[in-house]
Structure 1
C-alpha cells in the first residue's frame, strides 16, 4: 500500500511542479516580478531566483514523475514548499495583496488576501506529499526501482 501512496505523491507533486514551471518559462520577466513582489529577498538575487525557479520546478517535477532520484528531488520539493508557505504567510501577515505567482503571473491582486489560506493549505498538502517521499522514496512505476533493482532504502535502514 505504501508504494501506491508514494506513486500518488510522486504523480501529484511532480505534475504540479511541471505545470507551475512550464507556465512560467515563456515569460521569465513575470517570474522575476512575482519574486520581487514578495519583497523578501535582496534585490541582487531576485533576477537569478526569478529566472531559475521555473527551470528548477520543471526539473524537480520531471524527476518525481519519473521516479528518478526521488529522495533528492523530494528534498528540493519540500524546501521549495516551505519557502512558498513562508513567503505567502509573510505577504498575508504584512497585509500585501499579491498574486502568489505559483502558476505564472504575480504582482498586485485585489482578491489575494482571500486566496492566501487556500494557497497555504495547498502548499502544506504538497509539502506533506514531498515529505512522504523523502522518508519513503520507493514507489511503484519508478525508475529508481528499476535501476536499483528493488526498493530505495529507507532512512532507518541506512
Structure 2
C-alpha cells in the first residue's frame, strides 16, 4: 500500500511541476522562444514551433498525471523530456553559455555560474526520478484510468471468487 501512496505523491508532484512550468511558458510565449533560442541547439526554423508547442505538451502531461489517465505513458514521456532538458543544460554549461534555463518561464542570457547549472540539473534529476518511479509503479489512489488504479483487496478477492466459480461451473 505504501507504494501506491508514494506513487500518488509522485503523480501529483510531477503534475504540479508540469502545470506550473507549462502555464508560465504559455503566459509569455515570446520569452519561451528566447529561452529555446538561447540554448543554440535547434535549427532556427525549429525554434518557434518547439517553443510554442512545449508549454502545451507540459500542460497536457500535467493534466493527464493530475487526473490519473495514461500515467505510465505520461511518465515515460516525462522521463524523455527531462533527459532532454538535462542534456540541454549540460550542453549549455559545457559550451560556456551563460543562460537562464527557462524551465519555469523566463530564459535567455543571464549571469549564471556552475552552481546555478548544477542546481538546475539536480532539480531536473529529481523530477526525472519521480517520472521513473511512475514508469515502474503507475498505480495510485484517485486515478481515473483503470490501469492506473491500485487493486483493492476486495476487488482481488472478488476476482478470485469469480474465477473459482467459473472453474467449478465447467466441471
**What TM-score, normalized to structure 2?**
0.83
Distance in 2, matches of 1:54 and 1:141, equals 25
Residue 99 of structure 2 aligns with which residue?
A: 98
* 1:53 corresponds to 2:54: yes
- Superposition map of 1:113-128 within 5 A: 113-128=114-129
Separation in structure 2 between the aligned mates of residue 148 and residue 111 of structure 1, nearest angstrom: 43
Conservation of the 8 A alpha-carbon contact between 1:20 and 1:54: yes
Question: How many residue pairs get matched?
Answer: 150
What corresponds to 2:136 in structure 1? 135
Kept after mapping to 1: 8 A contact 2:141/2:149: no
Deviation at 1:65, TM superposition (A): 1.3
Q: Deviations over 1:87-107 (max 9, x none)?
A: 001111111110000011111
Where do residues 1-158 of structure 1 align in structure 2 (5 Å cutoff)? 1-144=2-145, 147-148=146-147, 150-151=149-150
Q: Which has the higher helix share?
A: 2
User: Which SS does the other structure have where 1:22 is aligned?
Assistant: helix
Q: TM-score, normalised by structure 1?
A: 0.90
Counterpart CA distance in 1 for 2:120 and 2:147 is 36
For the aligned residues, what is the CA RMSD? 1.5
